[in-house]
Amino acid sequence: MFLDRISLRMSVLGMISRLVAALHVVDYDTVCGVNIVLSDFRNDFETIFMNNLKKNPIMKVEVRLFAFFTKYLPANAERHRAELELKEGTIVKQVLMQLKIPLDEIKLIFINGVHAELEDVLKEGDVMAAFPPVAGG
């Protein structure tokens, strides 16, 4: 995910440098020339952005954390659940690491109410739940 952001940022920076170089060539009084350059820049940006979305589609997954794990939920969480936008192909372990939950403290994981493992792949609309070890009577 981090590398995708870097490559997108580098592509955008490359387009900006091409735009700046083109503006030096274009007569500043020629509004049409500037509009053409800006139009090309917008088209390049849209193409790269859409290609990036196709390579890394986003999916929504609900994450539910219980007991003392709730402290790892994002600020926008309601009670013990939060909806996360993740890259397709994300596995359970990646979500838990993103939330900074110590993996050695996880006792049970469920996806849609079925026992799951750290390497299981999440899909659009899944509900993932994680529980720490609990004691009691």
SS3 128: strand
**pLDDT value of residue 134:** 80
In the beta sheet, which residues pair with residue 78? 81
What's the confidence (pLDDT) of residue 29?
Answer: 46
* CA gap 19, 88 in Å, rounded: 33
**Rg from Cα positions in the chain:** 22
Report which of 66, 64, 47, 67 is spatially closest to residue 55, judged by C-alpha positions: 47
Q: 64 - beta bridge partners?
A: 81, 129
- pTM of the entire structure? 0.59
Residue range 45-55, pLDDT digits in tens:
666 656 655 56
